[in-house]
Amino acid sequence: MHDIEPHFHWRDLYIASEDAQSPFFGRKYSEFHYTHQLYNFYLHPQWDAFGSSTLYGKLLFADYDEGFALMELIGEWNDTLHNDIMFLKRNVVDPLYRQGVSKFVFFCDNTLNFHASSDDDYYAEWAEEVHEEGGWIALINTRQHILDELHDARLQNYMHFGDEYNDINWRTQKPLIVFQIIDAMVDGRLKRLGE
């Protein structure tokens, strides 16, 4: 896992550690010192910690005028043992929301597992907040066993995910195009990328 880097092709457009409105502003990175671990595996040092011991991310792009953020995740999303949704909500989502972000896209290509909790309060709170602003939450390229767990936890009441949000080749597009495609999918104007 140490050689899986966050998507870096948008760095000429946005760097979260240089964005004073980002929750990751001022972060320093090393290419040589591995400090983050997922169980017994080191993660590439470009990934950002936000409080969870199993889930890490990278804010790839934020547009405060348009009100959206694109974030890549890696690891295990574990609400059962680690309450990862609390860390994600309080340490990443809330600061972005206070800056005007109400549309959140999470790329889950490198999210290996999801373990739900019986408590969905953070999801409900998050969905209520963004819906008041005309926003939404979307999970992109989620593995099938994670989709099953998300459905079992009834998180489709709060987020957009599923087969229609999978197999999207977002890495070849510019961030605004990716956002516009996902926004159109959420609004029902487009079923899948390329259709």
Look at the block and give the residue holding tokens 């602003």. Answer: 133
Q: What is the mean pLDDT of residues 42-58?
A: 90
pLDDT above 90 (res 191): no
The residue with tokens 């199993």 is: 54
- Per-residue pLDDT at 192 exceeds 50: no
Compute how many other C-beta atoms are within 10 angstroms of the C-beta atom of residue 182.
Answer: 24
Give the Å distances, CA to CA, from 151 to 58, 86, 142, 154.
25, 19, 12, 5
Could you read off the pLDDT of 106-154 as tens digits, one per residue?
A: 999 999 999 999 899 999 999 999 999 999 999 999 999 999 999 999 9
State the average pLDDT over residues 165-189: 93
Q: Kindly list the structural domains of the chain, giving each domain's residue range(s) and its CATH number in brackets, ordered by start.
A: 41-186 (3.30.750.24)
> Tokens representing 171?
């890495």
pTM assigned to the model: 0.92
Residue 35's pLDDT is what? 72
Beta bridge partners of 62: 69
Report the pLDDT value the prediction gives residue 193, as an integer from 0 to 100. Answer: 44
